[in-house]
A and B are shown apart, each in its own frame.
Chain A
């Protein structure tokens, strides 16, 4: 085996590294996908993490997967949902404590804030927020994909890797559960609060 120079992982100080810029079609395609969806995927991760630094790392992980699986990325209005699906798995790994911090997104990391007063999600104590937090994770994700990412049934099916029909059924149930929790009488609020604590531990 011939020895080739070790290719260093470009770290935070990689600005000095000279990259050959041949018009590599893979790279062009990646830039297209990245340019069109980076904000949306960051938004997705940002809304589901407390820390901007974590979101930066998770975004890097998500696009590393996208780069690696470039040929698998569907086109058209399924590209975004496919990326959300990857981001969702990356996020799940992160929540299991398998996340990692790397130097790929150092600048991005610095531009995203850690939680502070502007983050209303933690302190929001409205009945809707309490009811939402009391929902099972699966329900929250479905409702969020509709309301926050504004995806349709087919797109959600791509994110979650399930059939459209399953999406419709689960979404119907999630909406029903949310409405029920929202309208729960005061006496049941304790129950809501209890489940809320449990779901916090998951987060």
Chain B
């Protein structure tokens, strides 16, 4: 077989997706969001679901945080400046920063960063339940700002006997003592009803989300609605053809997926046919 024939055979295998004309609005939204919504470089730490992650530990950590058991007494350990919103622990020529009081006023975090001479700003953003208490993103002005930072998983580089299930050793950041960059860190907080999440899981059926554990894929809308309503959340419908959410769709349609973008509201992705 000649090269030309081989390439032609491969060309014939290109999957085609007919009728997918993208509207100007969709392109503009994406471009605007990329350039202005996230005004600075961002590394999202959202859905971190690496297979190597010890799920149990993470689950334990989340449960503790969601329950709000971030007691100041628990974090009152040696080597940490206490009682504070943040803990700073020297680690060689670096400092390990951890949030120990999630409910503290963001001003307190920022005051503490300033006291340490670090140009780091911490903000708290509404997130879906599984991301409450987690560091969801950090951003800087440039690669230089970002490259000096090392994000720490719960349990990583913890003090003494602290481990990943300890509220004092959740997500953290390793910063050089002479950090000369500017960074903004976002932590997740519980959203108020109706508030839009800035981070959420891929699907509303994932652990901790509004429809956690429900099997909805390729069930009909009529079958799924009672299940969703039983969770006490509202519903809107997203279809492939309509740009806007729909209030109602035929009950015989199929649910493909669901995502909760807003606290108390689940968006069902639906269509007239089941999804393969």
B15 at the interface (CB under 8 A from A): yes
Contact A179–B31 (Cβ < 8 Å): no
Choose from B13, B107, B239 the contact partner of A110 (Cβ within 8 Å): B239
Q: Which of A74-82, A96-104, A194-202 touches B?
A: A96-104
How long is the Cα–Cα vector from A178 to B13 in the complex, in angstroms?
13
* Interface Cβ pair total, 8 Å cutoff: 217
How long is the Cα–Cα vector from A17 to B37 in the complex, in angstroms?
9
Per-residue 0/1 for B224-250: is the Cβ within 8 Å of any A Cβ (1 yes, 0 no)?
000000000000001110110000000
- CB within 8 Å of A: which B156-208 residues: 196-203
Per-residue 0/1 for A177-190: is the Cβ within 8 Å of any B Cβ (1 yes, 0 no)?
01100110000000
Choose from B15, B26, B39, B200 the contact partner of A47 (Cβ within 8 Å): B15
How long is the Cα–Cα vector from A14 to B242 in the complex, in angstroms?
18
* Residue picked from B15, B20, B29, B199, most chain A C-beta under 10 Å: B15
Given that A6-B125, A53-B269, A99-B47 are known contacts, is A113 also in contact with B240, CB under 8 Å in the complex?
Answer: yes
Residues in B neighbouring A183, C-beta threshold 8 A: 1
Choose from A34, A47, A111, A144 the contact partner of B31 (Cβ within 8 Å): A34
Contact B26–A108 (Cβ < 8 Å): yes
Residues in A neighbouring B67, C-beta threshold 8 A: none
Per-residue 0/1 for A146-171: is the Cβ within 8 Å of any B Cβ (1 yes, 0 no)?
11100000000000000000000000
A40 at the interface (CB under 8 A from B): no
Q: Which label, helix, strand, loop or mixed, suits the secondary structure of the A interface?
A: helix
Interface size on B, residues (CB 8 A): 76
> Which of under 10, 10 to 19, 20 to 34, or 35 or more describes the interface residues of A?
35 or more
Contact B30–A98 (Cβ < 8 Å): no
B56 at the interface (CB under 8 A from A): no
B73 at the interface (CB under 8 A from A): no
User: What is the distance, in angstroms, from B44's C-beta to the closest C-beta of chain A?
Assistant: 6
How long is the Cα–Cα vector from A39 to B275 in the complex, in angstroms?
25
User: What is the distance, in angstroms, from A143's C-beta to the closest C-beta of chain B?
Assistant: 5
Residues in A neighbouring B31, C-beta threshold 8 A: 30-31, 34, 63
A134 at the interface (CB under 8 A from B): no
Residues in A neighbouring B6, C-beta threshold 8 A: 143, 175, 178-179
Contact A115–B47 (Cβ < 8 Å): no
Residues in B neighbouring A59, C-beta threshold 8 A: 30
Contact B198–A9 (Cβ < 8 Å): yes
Residues in A neighbouring B12, C-beta threshold 8 A: 128
Contact A64–B42 (Cβ < 8 Å): yes
Contact B37–A10 (Cβ < 8 Å): yes
- CB within 8 Å of B: which A56-88 residues: 59-60, 63-64, 67-69
User: What is the distance, in angstroms, from B231's C-beta to the closest C-beta of chain A?
Assistant: 20
Residues in A neighbouring B130, C-beta threshold 8 A: none
